[in-house]
Amino acid sequence: MQLALSPELEAWRCEVQEFLRPYTHIDGYFQRGDEDALSAFYRELGARGWLSLTWPIELGGEAKSPLYEFVLWDEIGYARIARPPLAAGVVAKSLIAAGTADQHERFLPGIRAGELHFSLGYSEPEAGSDLAAVRCRAVRDGDEYVVTGEKRWTSHAQRSNYLWTLCRTGALDDRSRALTLLIIDLASPEITVSPIWTHDDYRLNEVRLDGVHVPVANRVGSENGAWTVIGQALAVERHMQFPPKRVRRDLEELRAFVHQSGIADDPVIHARMTDLAVRVAETEALTLQLLAQTAAGGDGVVEAADLKVA
């Protein structure tokens, strides 16, 4: 399945492809290699205004349709150059929707330029896929929160400026109704970042927070209101994080390998390849459905959840 684009969007796709041409020799994502090259790539996107395509004009964006953003990251994903920076996805979109004017002024310019980096502080040793079980605690003390806890499997914390942190501000039994989002400066002296190396030498991190002082001004949304902010962000950034052309290329390369290996006619292999092709087509269809909902002004929360498990 291919998205039928307007002439303007086809011209945009061609512009993106031409921009990416010098990068297509790269084997795999920047994240698996040169962190400096990845940062430079994000800055180049920022200089072109491509990290803020859909932002309101008054916040420094171009107010374009989500389709422009989709095409950009679909092509970058197919070229296997980089994943979208967290800052330009869930962080920026959450700040635009639920942040304060002060937060817009402090954080959005750096995100737009590709110079301000965030890591996702959601997962914990006892709260991986079940985010409602988060235990990292934030206790209000005047105009600050004091945060204590641990985050695990955190990508890029060693080079990020801030941790986009899900904290518990109520009883554990209240689950998602007692969670708050805080922006925490990773340069805080009460934070320790330690590497966790995967089998393929990719660095994740353990982030320990031992009484970190965080201004209330760094809270995103209301206290105990994180779940709403997270759900809204999921709907509007899913097409960035999981562009279907990325898995389409994986399927193309797998097909080539199967044919080169002379096993394409094996009934089991043939059935498996057919199943994979159907799954890729489903992912593409769900992405287009989500984009249609978002472009029409809908929240797309259900479609985003469907896409996550596709």
Q: Which domain covers residue 182, as residue numbers?
A: 118-227
Residue of 129, 127, 128, 153 lying closest to 205 (CA atoms): 153
Structure confidence at residue 4 (pLDDT): 66
Q: How far, in Å, CA of 287 to CA of 285, rounded?
A: 5
Are 24 and 50 part of one and the same domain?
A: yes
Whether residue 95 contacts residue 107, with contact meaning beta carbons closer than 8 Å, is answered with: yes
> What is the pLDDT at residue 304?
47
Task: Identify the active-site residue in 69, 237, 284, 303.
Answer: 237
Where does a domain end: 83, 100, 131? 83
Residue 274 lies in a domain: yes
304 lies in some domain = yes
Residue 123 lies in a domain: yes
Q: What is the pLDDT of residue 288?
A: 78
Contacts of 143 by beta carbon, 8 Å cutoff, 6+ apart: 215, 216, 217
pLDDT in tens, the chain (310 residues): 555 678 999 999 999 999 999 887 665 555 555 778 889 999 999 999 999 999 999 999 999 988 899 999 999 999 988 889 999 999 999 999 999 999 999 999 999 999 999 999 999 998 878 889 999 999 999 999 999 999 999 999 999 999 999 999 999 999 999 999 999 999 999 999 999 999 988 899 999 999 999 999 999 999 999 999 988 887 666 667 778 888 898 999 999 999 999 999 999 999 999 999 999 999 888 887 777 776 666 554 544 444 444 5
Q: What is the pTM of this model?
A: 0.87
Q: What is the pLDDT of residue 289?
A: 79
**The domain that contains 21 carries what CATH number?**
1.10.540.10
CA distances from 126 to 61, 152, 157, 283 (A): 39, 9, 19, 30
Both 76 and 155 in a single domain? Answer: no
Is there a catalytic annotation at residue 237? yes
In a domain, 97, yes or no: no
pLDDT of residue 242: 72
CA 166/CA 152 separation, integer angstroms: 12
Q: How far is CA 217 from CA 55, 161, 178, 294, 295, in A?
A: 22, 17, 19, 29, 31
Q: Pairing mode, if any, of strands 162-168 and 118-121? A: parallel
Instruction: Please tell me whether residues 182 and 136 are part of one structural domain.
Output: yes
Both 221 and 260 in a single domain? no
The H or E element containing residue 243 is none
Contact 136, 166 (CB under 8 A): yes
**207 and 282 part of one domain:** no
pLDDT at 305: 46
In the chain, at which residue ranges do the beta strands (DSSP E only) sit?
118-121, 137-141, 144-151, 162-168, 179-185, 191-197, 203-215, 219-220
Statement to judge: residues 201 and 264 lie in one domain: no
Structure token pair of residue 26: 């790269």
Judge whether 56 lies within some domain: yes
- The count of domains in the chain is 3
- Domain boundary (83, 109, 132) is at 83
d(C-alpha 192, C-alpha 158), whole Å:
10
**Token pair of 113 as six digits:** 């330029």
Whether 153 maps to a domain, the answer reads: yes
- Indicate if 209 and 258 belong to the same structural domain: no
Which own/partner contact pairs does 157-160 have at CB distance under 8 Å and 24+ positions apart?
Answer: 157/119, 157/186, 157/193, 157/205, 157/207, 158/193, 158/195, 158/203, 158/205, 159/35, 159/39, 159/117, 160/117, 160/118, 160/119, 160/186
Q: Please indicate, yes or no, if residue 91 is contained in any of the structural domains.
A: no
**What does 87-147 look like in DSSP terms, one character per residue?**
IIIIIHHHHHHH--HHHHHHHHHHHHTT---EEEE--BTTBSS-GGG---EEEEETTEEEE
Task: Tell me the CATH number at 178.
Answer: 2.40.110.10
